[in-house]
């Protein structure tokens, strides 16, 4: 089944304009359950309840509030927040281009494929330029009343737009305690490299699946057909891990290599 566009925009690089369509590059496949009353099996609904009286509060009778670090409550009206929303636009503005290594994986959030929306020559030129230069463009755009910053990059001949996290959400690695302990000697380091080399192989994404979701779907299908699911044996307790050198030697021996 052909992919369906979720939004239309225009990539702007100074005076150049490339009309595009956005397509989701990933999809959420989580299993969603209905919450039921145990006795009647009827779906239950969530309500806003006053914490002191227990009375149900209609949504129209609510307003938003923010509690500051010192405990002060600041009330906000819906129209006040609405005035702060970004102006609607179809423009995807490129503000700069950077080497691909300049943006590491911590920043990436959600990818979108870009397809042509007319003017195929401009679209093809954009795709070729991204592919040949290896550069990534830093872009700003507004989609569905939300402002985004993203990276425009090439993926197998297609332009791809990846949303980026704001800088305040990315934690610096310097905040993590640095590794400590005795450095590996040359022999241990050589064994560690051998161990890594034993597992070296091309990445095959189809081999990595959401096994828990598949087991849940299988359980649902089994019960739908009126059968009882098989019970899984309890996992064995793992022994305490040996020291690093012993673990490396054992792994290499199991793989048929000399340690």
Do 22 and 119 lie in one domain? The reply is yes
Q: Judge if 104 and 134 occupy the same domain.
A: yes
Say whether pLDDT at 254 is over 80: no
Which domain, by its residues, includes 259?
185-196+243-259
Query: What are the angstrom distances between the C-alpha of 153 and each of 4, 120, 208?
Result: 21, 18, 25
- Report pLDDT digits (tens) over 4-37: 999 999 999 999 999 999 999 999 888 999 999 9
137 belongs to a structural domain: yes
Model pLDDT for residues 158-206, shown as the tens digit of each residue: 999 999 999 999 999 889 888 888 888 888 888 888 888 888 889 888 8
| Total count of domains within the chain | 2
| pLDDT (average), residues 127-141 | 96
Q: How many CA atoms lie within 13 A of 5 on its CB side?
A: 11
The string of DSSP codes covering 139-165 is EEEEETTEEEEEEEEEETTEEEEEEE-
pLDDT value of residue 99: 94
User: Do 190 and 134 belong together in one domain?
Assistant: no
Same domain, 15 and 91: yes
Residues in the chain, how many? 259
Percent of residues, the chain, with pLDDT higher than 90: 61
> Do 24 and 98 share a domain, yes or no?
yes
The answer to whether residues 178 and 190 touch, using CB atoms and an 8 Å cutoff, is no
Could you give the CA distance from residue 93 to residue 157 in angstroms, rounded to a whole number?
A: 21
Kindly state whether residue 58 falls inside one of the protein's structural domains: no
Nearest to 66, CA basis, from 56, 74, 54: 74
Q: Do residue 131 and residue 254 come from a single domain?
A: no
Whether residues 158 and 92 fall in one domain: yes
Smallest Cα–Cα separation from 134: which of 97, 104, 108? 97
């Amino acid at each position: 089944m052909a992919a369906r566009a979720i939004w239309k925009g225009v990539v702007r690089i100074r005076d150049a304009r490339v009309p595009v369509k956005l397509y989701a590059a990933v999809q959420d496949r989580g299993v969603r359950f209905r919450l039921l009353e145990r006795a009647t099996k009827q779906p239950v609904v969530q309500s806003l309840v006053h914490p002191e009286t227990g009375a149900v509060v209609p949504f129209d009778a609510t307003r938003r509030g923010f509690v500051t670090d010192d405990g002060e409550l600041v009330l906000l009206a819906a129209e006040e927040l609405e005035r702060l929303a970004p102006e609607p636009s179809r423009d995807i503005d490129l503000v700069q281009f950077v080497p691909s290594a300049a943006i590491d994986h911590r920043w990436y959030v959600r990818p979108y494929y870009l397809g042509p929306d007319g003017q195929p020559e401009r679209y093809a030129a954009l795709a070729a330029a991204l592919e040949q230069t290896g550069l990534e463009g830093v872009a700003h755009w507004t989609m569905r009343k939300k402002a985004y910053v993203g990276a425009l990059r090439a993926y197998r001949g297609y332009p791809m737009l990846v949303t980026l996290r704001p800088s305040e959400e990315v934690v610096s690695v310097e905040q993590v305690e640095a590794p400590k302990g005795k450095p590996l000697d040359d022999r241990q380091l050589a064994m560690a490299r051998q161990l890594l080399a034993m597992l070296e192989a091309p990445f095959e994404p189809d081999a990595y699946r959401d096994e828990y979701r598949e087991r849940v779907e299988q359980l649902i299908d089994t019960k739908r057909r009126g059968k009882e699911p098989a019970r899984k044996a309890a996992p064995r307790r793992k022994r305490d891990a040996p020291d690093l050198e012993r673990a490396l030697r054992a792994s290499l021996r199991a793989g048929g290599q000399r340690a």
